[in-house]
Amino acid sequence: VGLDQTTQLSLRPQIIELGVGQPDPRLLPGDCMRAATAAMLAAGWEPLAYGANAGPENLLSQLALRIAQSEREPSLSEMIVTGGNSQALDELCTLLAQPGDAVLVEAPSYNFALQILRDHRLQLVTVPVDENGLVPDAVDDVLRTLHEKGTRPAFLYTIPTFHNPTGVSLTLPRRRQLLAIAASNDLWVVEDDVYRDLVYSGSAPPSLWTLDDAESVIRLGTFSKVLAPGVRVGWMTAPRKIITQLVGGGLRMSGGGPSHFAAMAVAEFMAAKRFEPHIEHLRASYCGRRDELSAALDDLIPEAQHQRPAGGYFVWVKLPRSFDTEELLPIAEDAGVAYVPGQRFYTGGSGNRYLRLSFSMYSPQMLRDGVLRLRTALDRAGA
């Protein structure tokens, strides 16, 4: 694993890159994908033709059955295959929003999702996240303020389960409260549900989409974290009218479903019963990494606060008041460790005491070494 121009991964040789929120290449299922792709191409020409606008039914029907096991079963008319959650969010921006529209986002939230929204020239209006997730009362307040100004937000973008960057999950009472607010305000909720299957303690909370009975929620799922990001395949479960508009839109009428070739390979991967054992393997691997990173923080940087996340990729660390994590970053890199400074997940410059560590890329031993290097950086910064 090194620097290359084939993938997005560019690791600096002397640095433990705890900023990188990507799967460990050693955990990518190369052999199984090779078997699945060979089987798919032996079976016929279909992976090479324009894909069905909603995605291949073979993939959709397997996903529907899988979702039914832990949530509720979506009908095929409530589902669509996407080109991953980033592309799905991009499609939704075009469908639901116009430049200048307000969009509600969490503070903090996934930095590149914020950038996708900004690229569509949307006005980001923030709602705070605390240790129980997004604060519904604050959503209510913001909606009232916007209403008084005569505007209505295009949608709320939220990551309620194993949140990026904080790792927290929205509590069940808050989920219900948020859905009630969405229903009474006719607010679309875009639920980025990227980490649901990477659960290490207990089980994942029910998705907003599962709990929704007002057709407010568009839920985005993806194979990026549980299979392979390179396939660029995800799915959406959403109200019929959203699916209908996406299926009949110019983008899909012209080009068919996104990532069709890879979507067919993923369908074959699932049909070969390789998906569940692979997820189990990932959970076991990442769980050990999470535990070690959390323990190392407790052991080596006891003055920093963090919650051990129940799932996902990230530990969100709060440093004592005297540190600024943007200023600390070059010192940390000198000491051989990197992270993402907290400010990048906020729109307005706050978050400077926070940093995001990812435990997905490294072995437990390397994670402990990374924390040791962060300890060194903190000592050198000498606050």
Sole binder of a second copy in the list 3, 12, 14, 50 (CB under 8 A): 50
Does 56 sit near a second copy (CB under 8 A)? yes
Does 11 sit near a second copy (CB under 8 A)? no
Beta carbon of residue 246, minimum distance to a second copy (angstroms, whole number): 10
Does 360 sit near a second copy (CB under 8 A)? no
Does 96 sit near a second copy (CB under 8 A)? no
Residues 71-90 that bind a second copy (CB under 8 A): 83-87, 90
| Smaller CB separation from a second copy, 51 or 342 | 51
| Angle (deg, nearest 10), helices 240-247 and 85-96 | 90
Residues 111-140 that bind a second copy (CB under 8 A): 112-121
Provide the residue type at 171 as one letter: T
How far is it, in rounded angstroms, from Cα 53 to Cα 255? 8
Provide the residue type at 96 as one letter: L
Closest CA to 383 of 318, 311, 299, 321: 321
| Smaller CB separation from a second copy, 23 or 74 | 23
Tokens of 85: 């959650």
Sole binder of a second copy in the list 2, 13, 99, 202 (CB under 8 A): 99
Sole binder of a second copy in the list 11, 28, 124, 381 (CB under 8 A): 28
Does 153 sit near a second copy (CB under 8 A)? no
How far is it, in rounded angstroms, from Cα 381 to Cα 383? 6
DSSP assignments along 219-263, one per residue: EEEESTTTT-GGG--EEEE--HHHHHHHHTSHHHHHH-STTHHHH
| Smaller CB separation from a second copy, 91 or 333 | 91
Does 3 sit near a second copy (CB under 8 A)? no
Beta carbon of residue 24, minimum distance to a second copy (angstroms, whole number): 10
How far is it, in rounded angstroms, from Cα 286 to Cα 279? 10
Beta carbon of residue 4, minimum distance to a second copy (angstroms, whole number): 7
Kindly determine how many residues on this chain lie close enough to bind a second copy according to the rule CB under 8 A: 75
Beta carbon of residue 88, minimum distance to a second copy (angstroms, whole number): 10
Sole binder of a second copy in the list 19, 29, 165, 309 (CB under 8 A): 29
DSSP assignments along 311-380, one per residue: BSSEEEEE--TT--HHHHHHHHHHTTEE-EEGGGG-SSS--TTEEEEE-SSS-HHHHHHHHHHHHHHHHH
Contacts of 29 (CB under 8 A, 6+ apart): 227, 228, 269, 274, 278
- In the beta sheet, which residues pair with residue 305? 318
How far is it, in rounded angstroms, from Cα 103 to Cα 152? 9
Does 231 sit near a second copy (CB under 8 A)? yes
Residues 210-229 that bind a second copy (CB under 8 A): 224, 228-229
Q: End-to-end alpha-carbon separation of the chain, Å?
A: 35
Sole binder of a second copy in the list 2, 13, 42, 131 (CB under 8 A): 42
Sole binder of a second copy in the list 261, 283, 287, 307 (CB under 8 A): 261
Residues 240-259 that bind a second copy (CB under 8 A): 249-251, 253-259
| Smaller CB separation from a second copy, 9 or 183 | 9
| Smaller CB separation from a second copy, 6 or 69 | 6
- In the beta sheet, which residues pair with residue 82? 234
Residues 271-310 that bind a second copy (CB under 8 A): none
